[in-house]
Structure 1
Amino acid sequence: MIYKKDANFPYPLLTNTSTSYESSQFILDVDLQENASTYRFNITYNIDSDFMNRLLEKEQAQLILVIQSKDNKFYKLRPSDTYVEISKSRISVSKRTSIQLHLQAKENIHFNDNNDLSGIYQQYRDVIMVRKHSTLGFSNVVIFDSRSNKPLDLFQKKLDPTLLSDIKIELGYETIIIHYKSEELQFNNLPMSNSLNNPYIYMGLQKALQRFIVNNGDDEQVDLEEIELPDDQLDLKLYNLMKKKMIREISIDTIDEVIYVISEKILEKFTAAVKGLSSNGN
């Protein structure tokens, strides 16, 4: 389980709000990346307590990563682990996923040499013993909102009857703008109109990624691990989106592969929408 409020334990517990320790920081930071088949939770943490760090080094305690979404998942970590990679078939990441790091005793832990305790616990540390498998502490809760970093957030739609073409793709300061000559081209009167617009989304991503390569590479490819953060705001959004999806490089030849990874199967959704219209006799 994830502890979102102070919990009462019959022994001193290391938490960010604990008064049982002189210095009680247990800070967790998580960055989530994904591709078509896996989620990668990149983890950094800091524990102020020398006593707890010694327990981890001696393997008397262990770290447990708790991921709470539609269900709870638990993953044992070594102190040197910097990420957990999980198949999408094994975990469901909902619109709001909570993540917390727990310290768990791997054997009975005596607190007689725990010099980090404060107050009354310092006086009675010689008689404090925490049993095997008990929780020794827990971090802050990191909340991941899967609604962020969506490719469709990059887009704007505008109507312009004066266009000399049916649609026009414009690369704005922060967004990709799709200009439509008529409302009919937006399919607003049909169910799943958003999915029916996905070919235009695809065209916009192609154009934006081509410019990204020109702006940030050698006209042919870009190594995302090596470049500086882009100054252009649209390029920066595309950069962050690709990094979140664990893409390391992009070239003119791999643009379509990159779009497949970052676009959440928009052409499959378009095909499903068309099939839905066909099955309804439209």
Structure 2
Amino acid sequence: MIYKKDANFPYPLLTNTSTSYESSNFILDVNLHENSYNYRFEISYEIDSQFVNKLIENEQAQLVLVIQSKDNKFFYIKPEDKYIEIQKSRISISNRTTIQLHLQSKAEINFKDNDDLSYFYSQFKEDIVVLRNSILGFSNVVIFEGSSTKPLELFEKKVNPDIKSDIKIELGSETIIIHYKNEQLQFNDSPMSNTLNNPYIYMGLQKALYRFIVNNSDDGEQVDLEQIDAPTDNLDLKFYNLMKKKMINELSIDNIDEVIYSISDKILEKYAGAVRGLSLNGN
């Protein structure tokens, strides 16, 4: 479970609001990345108590990452772990996901040597014994309110009867603009209008990623996202952040379609499903 308020325990607990410790910082920071198959939770934490850190170092206590979303999941974390990677088939992430780090005893713990406790416990700390598998502390709560980098939010749609083709894809300063010669090409009379426009979205992504390569590579062939600085062009910067979030390390002429698959949540598969559904309904 996630502890969002102080809980009552019959022994000292390490939390950011606890008065049991002289210095009670237990601070968690998490960054969430994903690709088509996995979630990666990049983790950093800070614990002020030397006593608690020694328990972790001596493997008398363990760190447990709690992820609360559509369901609750628990993952054991080693002190040296910088991230954990979880298959999407194993966990469901909703628009609001809550994460907390717990500290759990792996053996019976005597607090007699805990010099980090507040003065209140000084006279009887040798009598404090915590049983195995007991919670010793919990961090702050980290909340994710859904992804801030959604590829379809990169697009604008406009009707322009003066263009010399059915559609025209323009790369703007911050968005990809799809110009339509007429409204019929947008499928506005269909409840699946957005999905039926996915081939145009795909074309826009191809064009924007190709320009990203041209703008950010020396050879016009490939970009190592781990080596380049964040782009100054606003649209390129959005793609840079999106690809980093999706754990993509390299973009090249040869892998553009693979990158689109990773960042766009199977837009062509959804398009095919929509067309198939219309065909079946028509029959």
TM-score (ref. length: structure 2)? 0.96
1:121 is displaced (CA, Å) by 2.4
* Deviation sequence 1:50-94 (CA, Å, 0-9, x none): 111000000000000111111111111110011111111111111
Partner of 2:259: helix, strand, or coil? helix
Partner of 2:270: 269
Q: Distance in 1 between matches of 2:180 and 2:104?
A: 58
Letter in 1 for 2:215: N
Unaligned runs of 5+ in 2: none
1:123 is displaced (CA, Å) by 3.5
1:162 is displaced (CA, Å) by 2.0
1:46 is displaced (CA, Å) by 1.0
1:148 is displaced (CA, Å) by 2.4
Q: Is the aligned partner of 1:151 residue 2:151?
A: yes
Partner of 1:189: helix, strand, or coil? coil
Q: Distance in 2 between matches of 1:173 and 1:121?
A: 62
Partner of 2:65: helix, strand, or coil? strand
1:230 is displaced (CA, Å) by 1.0
Partner of 1:123: helix, strand, or coil? coil
Partner of 1:173: 173
Q: Is the aligned partner of 1:225 residue 2:265?
A: no
Partner of 1:95: 95
Q: Is the aligned partner of 1:127 residue 2:127?
A: yes
Q: Is the aligned partner of 1:235 residue 2:226?
A: no
- Structure 1's consecutive aligned runs of 4 or more residues displaced over 4 angstroms after TM superposition are none
Partner of 2:106: 106
Q: Distance in 2 between matches of 1:19 and 1:116?
A: 11
Unaligned runs of 5+ in 1: none
Partner of 1:17: 17
Letter in 1 for 2:32: L
Per the alignment, do residues 165 and 123 of structure 1 end up closer, same or farther by CA in structure 2, a change over 3 Å counting? Answer: farther
* Deviation sequence 1:109-134 (CA, Å, 0-9, x none): 11111111114123332221111101
1:208 is displaced (CA, Å) by 0.7
Partner of 1:28: helix, strand, or coil? strand
TM-score (ref. length: structure 1)? 0.97
Q: Identity percentage over the alignment?
A: 72
Letter in 2 for 1:50: Q
Partner of 1:36: 36
Q: Distance in 1 between matches of 2:81 and 2:111?
A: 26
- Between 32-41 and 199-208, report the one with greater CA deviation: 32-41
Partner of 1:280: helix, strand, or coil? helix
Partner of 1:70: helix, strand, or coil? coil
Partner of 1:86: 86
1:145 is displaced (CA, Å) by 2.7
Q: Distance in 2 between matches of 1:214 and 1:89?
A: 36
